[in-house]
Structure formats: C-alpha cells, structure tokens
Chain A
C-alpha cells in the first residue's frame, strides 16, 4: 500500500554532501507536490564530524514536526550506522556502504567518547558486537530492517573510470549514491529526480550530467533488486507552487517584502545565513523595473551592528540586525538607547544553546527572559516569537511595522530549529501583508519637538526630512536636549511606557496567542518551534483517547494577558503543561508574571535537539495519566 507519510534520515560526516542529498530529494518531492520538512543537525565544525538530515515527507499535508523511528535511512559512513542504530523502524529500510562492514565503533576518531560509550552500553544490552557488520545483522535479524548494502568503492570507481576523475573528486558523489538509492526505494520518477539535480546544480552542466548518469544507473539497479517498497501515494496537497526555503531565507523574504532597507550583522550561527540571503538580493529589480535596494552592512562587532541599524533607522530606512545569543549580549546597551530615544529597530534573534558559546549549532529557547529584560532601566520594547516559516514571514514584516508604529526596538525571536530547517512553504498571502510606518515623517521643517509630550507616540520626522532634531540617551526634554528636571522625568518616563499600553490595546490578542484544539483533558502551553510537534502530538494523543489543546504564545511583550488568563483558568493548574526548549520553563514564567496563573507541569528539552512527536506524546501521557509533574526529554543524537 503506498505511504502517506514517511520519515527518513541521511547521515554522514560534515562536508560530505548530506545536505545536498536532502536538497535534491526535497526538490524532486516538491516537484510532485509533496510536503517536506527537514531538520539539519550538525556540530560546530566545518568538516568531518557527524551530521545528519532528518526529514518528514507527506502526501497530504505540509509537515510541521519530526519524530522517530524513521522508515528509511541512508548512511555514507560507519559513524552514522552506529550513531543511528536505534533510530530505524522495524521493517524499515537502510542503505549503507558495505565497505564499512569491518569498521569497529571503537575505531572512529570523530565520534565523541560519550556517544561511543553510551552506544556501547546499549549494544551490550542488546547483544550487539562492535562492528558495522554486527549492527547490520542485529537490524536485519532482530528488527526486521531491510538492508540495501552498496559498495561505494565499486560505484565510485566506475564513475572514476567513466569520467576520469580523482578519488577526491569521486568522493563528492557519495551524496548522489544516497539520494539516488532513496529515490529508487521511494519510487520517484526519473524526471523529478532530474529536476532535483538540475535545480541543485543550476547551470553546472558537467556536474548535472554526471549526477544524472550515476543516479539513473543506481535507480535502475536498485529498483530491479528491491522494487519500490516505500512508494508514496500521489500528493493530494492542493497547491501549485511551493517555496523551498529555510527559516533564515523566509525571514529574509519577509524583510524584503516589508521594505527593509538596511541590515547590519556580524557573523554568527545560526543567524548569518539570513544576512547572506539578503546580500544576494540587494538589488530589487523585477523585469527591469527598479523597486529599490537593500544595503547589507557587515560590521566589526554586534555593538556596531545594532548601533548602525539604529542610525539608519533615524534617517527613515527600515533597519534590522540579525544575531544570536552572544551577539545580542553585546547589543544590550544600544537596545536601551533605542528604547530611550523611541527609535525603531528590529533585532532578529535566532536562539541557540547557551550560556556563553554554549552549543553554537544546536537549538534552544533559553533566551526569552533575556530579551524581555535585557538592558538597564525601564523602557518599552516588543518581543514576538515565530513558530513556523509562515509565522516567521509575516512576523518579519510586522516586527518592522511595530518598530515604526510604536517607535520602539522590536525583538523577533526564532530558534536554530526554524532557522536551519528546510521547509516547503506556500507562497504568502498578500491579503495579510500591510506596511505601517506609523508617525514617520519625511518632510518637515525647523526645530522639531521630536519627543512632543502631548501624545505618547510623537510624530517622527526622520533626519534629513528638513526638521532639526536631537537625540540623547540621557533623559531629555521634548527637543531631545538633556534635562534632569524631576517632573519632566516623570512625564517622559510615562510617555514612553504608555506606548506599550497602546500597543496592548491595538494589537489583537488573537494575534499574540493562538489556541489550537478544544480538548479539555490537558493544555500544552508552548512557543516557537514547539508548535509543530505540539500540534501533531495532539492528533496522536487523541487517537489514544486523550483530548487536549495547544496554546501557542506569539508575543511576550505586550503579553496577551486577558486571553491567556481566561484560557488557563478554563483548564486549571492541574492540566496546563508548559512545553519548552529550556530548563527554566521561561515562557511559563513570563505567563505567570503576566497573568498571575501558576504553572506546575513541564515538558522540557535542552539537549539542543528538537522535540520529537513520539517523546512528547509519551511525556504528556506520563503527566496526564501517570501523574508526573515534569518530564525532561532527551531523544536524538
């Protein structure tokens, strides 16, 4: 029976083209209308350490979460076979390099000792020996996994002879072996595979030819041996165009549509790809028509990044900077300056594991409270968080709108999971896009009361408008000159903070939090990338007889207190479970602070890997049925 959903894993050393395999498969699948989501897990390393792509494919919906075990795995090296021994489903399929058979787990220098020892412990438990061969036998005999052993050496030698290339050059085609073998088992047609190859190698004719040659040969051979055991049913997703993009790309696209004109950055994972994306789209020219241009400014550090973005904002350019934890730590003083000077600026903040450099390439949601409270003194700011690529796109636009409308710094929170995952995304809906520049003025004159106290939000003539304005981080009068007068202090302080009250009134609470489902057995309370896993877990739990709901928090300042309080009250403390990628349950603390509602059930994960549906389902059961208060998740290598 053809499959509707499928999970797969591609593993190999960093730099061996696993991502390429994933991209080609994704394009081929999208071409036939399938929805694809893939998470990329990798070390803070350029070449050699274990990395993998974890993908969900669906014929009937755009996937939004991942889970284990997988139905299909393709590994180029021994380390992957060892690392993912227990990730493959009974009856699943494994493609691997039979040349690695004799390799022992104790002989893999790139494998971290902790990983090796943990695996060896499990191997002892299951009576598995130390070689790849032993693992393969276990999978085949004990787990009923179907094995597709390929001799990478023979395949690459064949290629070398045909195209007269060096071993090093041939090694690049390991990724071809993987995607071709997978395409064979998935029953993908030759045209879609060619499409995937052409799309990936755009214009590099020779590479395209070699990939097509190798892929079609392998597909033919593998299919004649194994058939198409993992054939997918035709897609029923009603869509004629799909964007294939990472979270970084999608935010970049949102910024471009939203009128971004100045982006500053200092390189940092997992934020820098967004700026690179923008840099490759600096000229906005469509069919010869000039729509404007963006300036991407690589600075000497993150302090300069935010300072220059604020400076550009003062002149009327929509401006933003993108960073991660260490970078935002450096930006904090300037954040306060923007707050004090009622200056719009957007900080796109991709969370990764902290503290300090922490886990540079792993995901996390541990910076929420930091962004809510960062910088000394009290000033208004807006903090919003996106949970999937669509939210990220519109949020990127709205963040700039809020920054200008309320004349405040806006922090747009994302995380590594969203940033580095690749998604198939529908083309955005223009009906949902508006650009709101608030009280920004491009023509004015004379000495201008930039901080006119008569209303909380004052008209903002940009520098260059013809008006003369002053700004200072010191407390100031209406003209922006320093004053320490106590009464002015009170008035200015309150003026600034009142803008938050206005934002709280104007931005509908339904846009700041969203309730999914109506089951009353439990309520999951989450944010960011938790969304996809939570929604899919709800469906699984419902099949198991547990009916719940998911409350997705989208904005933390101003917090949608009334709506959230009402929903939480309707469940009661017993049935509300915070689900987050941190140890403090930070969004639950923010919720308590804003609603007075005390949360006491937690499902937390801080390994740096995403929350998987199956572990979330299990954890909810342990809490709702088993009476536990807190479950810490650890699945995934």
Chain B
C-alpha cells in the first residue's frame, strides 16, 4: 500500500543526521497511519522539543510542535476538547522523562486516550549529546567530559507505575515491527507508551545499531508470553504487571521489545468525565455552538435560572 503511505508524507526535508533512528520511527508511523487509514485532518501529531520532536513536520496530518517537555499537556488539551481526534505524541527521552517527567506520569494516571512515542536515544541530541534520563550510571557517551553519575529512569517501569494501560517497546530500525506496535497503541483505548530504542549515530557511541544487534529479542516470540489483562481481576492485573515489570528490568545481553502490558479494562479519562457529565460525550466541547450571530447561547433568562442560587429577589415589603 505504498501509495497510501505517501498520503502521510510531507515534502519538508528531514534534517536529521543521515542514519538517525528518527527516520525509522517516522516511516513506521506513516505506515501505521496508512494501514489504519487515519484521516490526516482528524489526526494530530504533537511533539515537544528536540531532534525527535521535529517529527510532525514530516508527517502529513495536523502537527503541533510545542515546548520542551510539554507535548503531553498540549495533546491532552487537544484530545479532551475533541475526543474524536486521534492524538499521537512524539518526544525525546530528555523531553518526556527529564523536563516533562511530571506530565509523563500525570497522563498515565488519567488514562487519556493518546499514544506516546518516546524516542529513546539516551542523549539530548539537539543540544549535542548530553546525558539523558535513560543513560545509565557511569556510562560515558562521547560528548560527555566525564561519566554520567545519575541513575537511569526505566520508561517501561515508570509507565506501568503511572497507570499507562498499554506499554510497549520498539526498535527504530525494525520499522515493520514498530509499525505494528504503533497500530496497536493507537487502537488501544487509553494512554499508550511505546519506548522506542533509537540509535543516535552522532552522539551515542554506546547504544549503537551494533550494540542492539543480537541483544534485542521479541517478547511475542517467547513461549507463553501474554501481556494482556483478559479479566480485570486484581489477581490477573497483579500477575501481568509483575511479569511486565520483570521484563522491564531486563537489560544487557538480552533486551526485550514488543508489548509488555495491556489493560483494556480501565476507563479512559474521557469516559470518566462522561460518567460524571453525560453531556460531554454528546458533542465535543470544541464543536459546540456558543453563539448565534454574536448573541450568546446563554440568554439573560438562562443566566437567571443557571445562577438562581446566587440571586436574591428583592422584597422591599
């Protein structure tokens, strides 16, 4: 369906370093969008700041390239105001797990129906290779004058702890595998994380394509691997979380990719709002009519009724 993929391409030149893993991620997104047949006008790619966050400009769909670390709250506002939109966030590891870590956690607690694609290259690419929150202690990538002395945060474990209901890891150079993960994440109802291991050819001389070669293995090829919570019982959730957690910690000679955890039974934030206020699901707040020819939809009579509690009828006697 090559021609269909073309529908999601722009003619903006990608100015990433040749060989950058971001190319693979964009290719996987475009293929996934094509296979899901997403309407570009009803799809929004929201990003932060960093090399990876230039992504929206290369994808033919609405693109919102925001502030460093803030893609998630922008995306949340977009999604909550018009839940009919498909919203995908792209951000770097510095962006989403450093400066934006608070938002990364908060969106999981809410289970807003968006997909977060984390470009995990262990460095701050655009600022020339400083240690990112996923670089491990004592590792020294080539731009660092001295080794990194902070511990790494584990994106998979953090997402599970924060309440994400779809947690996966992909590899930027395994485009078709990643494409499938993206499709599943978008189809999933709730907050989805895809942690994408992404070689940075310029600044990361440790986690190279060579490094990953031979170490990565696919969870789905493990006998008996089933990350999905089928019955929303505490027992099953506990078991699936525990197994995902164990896999999340695996790093070294063998590094798992694939789906770690899926719980389709958790209400999304949108559903929670609708439960409290059924009006919410009738028409997206973004599309409601608030006026007619400049006259507010709320008339003076409506006002008096709406705020009756605040109004005193003067009775002079």
Taking Cβ atoms with an 8 Å cutoff, the residues of A that contact B are 27, 30-33, 189, 191, 199, 202, 234-235, 239-245, 249, 253, 256-259, 261-262, 264, 281-287, 290-295, 297, 299-301, 303-305, 307-319, 333-334, 337, 397, 424, 427-428, 430, 433-437, 442, 445, 447, 462-474, 480-482
Contacts and interface: CB of A to CB of B under 8 A. Distances in A.
A304 B315 contact: no
B102 A300 contact: yes
A290 B62 contact: no
Interface in B87-133: 102-103, 105-106
A603 B310 CA distance: 36
Interface string B130-144: 000000000000000
Contacts of A283: 277, 279
B297 interface: yes
A319 B303 contact: no
Given A264-B77, A292-B288, A463-B78, 9 more contacts: A234-B316, A240-B313, A256-B306, A262-B81, A311-B64, A312-B78, A430-B299, A464-B41, A481-B10
Closest 5 pairs (CB-CB, A-B): A311-B77, A259-B290, A308-B77, A304-B73, A307-B73
A291 B64 contact: no
A312 B286 contact: yes
Contacts of A189: 317
B2 interface: no
Nearest to B102: A300
A473 B65 contact: yes
Contact of B310 (A243, A300, A445, A473): A243
Contacts of A311: 46, 64, 73-79, 81
Contacts of B296: 257-259, 397, 430, 433, 435
A316 B287 contact: yes
B268 to A, nearest CB: 14
A262 B80 contact: yes
A344 to B, nearest CB: 12
Interface in B55-85: 56-57, 60-67, 70, 72-82, 84-85
A463 B312 contact: no
Contacts of A297: 76-77, 80
Given A300-B102, A442-B287, A473-B65, A315 B304 contact: no
21 contacts: A32-B317, A191-B317, A241-B312, A261-B285, A264-B77, A290-B279, A293-B279, A293-B280, A295-B80, A304-B106, A313-B81, A315-B284, A430-B300, A435-B295, A463-B62, A464-B284, A466-B41, A472-B63, A472-B64, A473-B67, A480-B63
Given A262-B285, A304-B106, A337 B67 contact: yes
A10 to B, nearest CB: 20
Nearest to B273: A295
A338 B54 CA distance: 18
A481 B60 CA distance: 12
Interface of B: 10, 12, 40-42, 44, 46, 49, 54, 56-57, 60-67, 70, 72-82, 84-85, 102-103, 105-106, 273, 276-277, 279-280, 282-291, 294-307, 309-317
A427 to B, nearest CB: 7
Nearest to A236: B316
A319 B65 contact: no
A464 B85 contact: yes
Contact of B42 (A292, A300, A464): A464
A261 B288 contact: yes
Given A284-B306, A304-B106, A468-B62, A261 B312 contact: no
Contact of B82 (A30, A199, A258, A463): A463
A240 B317 CA distance: 12
A350 B105 CA distance: 29
A458 B287 CA distance: 20
Nearest to A306: B73
Given A261-B81, A286-B302, A292-B279, A310 B74 contact: yes
Contacts of A337: 66-67
Contact of A318 (B49, B63, B290): B290
A126 B67 CA distance: 62
Contact of B77 (A243, A310, A464, A467): A310
A243 B44 contact: no
Contacts of A312: 77-78, 80-81, 285-286
A318 B105 CA distance: 27
Nearest to B78: A311
A214 B251 CA distance: 73
A295 B317 contact: no
Given A284-B298, A293-B277, A30 B78 contact: no
A337 B46 CA distance: 14
Contacts of B303: 253, 257, 427-428
A310 B46 CA distance: 13
Contacts of A470: 56-57, 62-65
A245 B306 CA distance: 14
Chain B CB count within 10 A is highest, among A30, A434, A436, A471, for: A471
Contacts of B284: 315, 317, 464
A242 B317 CA distance: 16
Contacts of B306: 256, 281, 284, 286
B285 A482 contact: no
A305 B103 CA distance: 11
B286 A427 contact: no
A227 to B, nearest CB: 20
A244 B285 contact: no
A298 B300 CA distance: 29
Contacts of B41: 445, 464-468
A473 B57 CA distance: 12
A435 B287 contact: no
B70 A307 contact: yes
Given A33-B314, A242-B314, A434-B294, A253 B307 contact: yes
B57 A292 contact: no
Contact of B286 (A304, A333, A462, A469): A462
A451 B49 CA distance: 21
B305 A286 contact: yes
Contacts of B102: 300-301, 304
Given A297-B80, A315-B78, A239 B277 contact: no
B276 to A, nearest CB: 8
Nearest to A465: B41
A303 B313 CA distance: 42
B84 A464 contact: yes
B212 to A, nearest CB: 30
Nearest to A235: B316
Contacts of B84: 464
Contact of A256 (B77, B283, B298, B309): B298
A294 B54 CA distance: 33
Given A430-B299, A468-B61, A470-B57, A315 B66 contact: no
B77 A262 contact: yes
Contacts of B78: 311-312, 314-315, 463
Contacts of A235: 314, 316
Contacts of B297: 259, 291-292
A310 B70 CA distance: 11
Contact of A427 (B60, B291, B304): B304
A245 B287 contact: no
B294 A464 contact: no
B94 to A, nearest CB: 16
Nearest to B298: A257
Nearest to B315: A31
A258 B297 CA distance: 9
B157 to A, nearest CB: 20
A189 B317 CA distance: 10
Nearest to B56: A470
Nearest to B60: A468
A464 B80 CA distance: 13
Nearest to A252: B307
A474 B64 CA distance: 11
Contacts of B72: 304
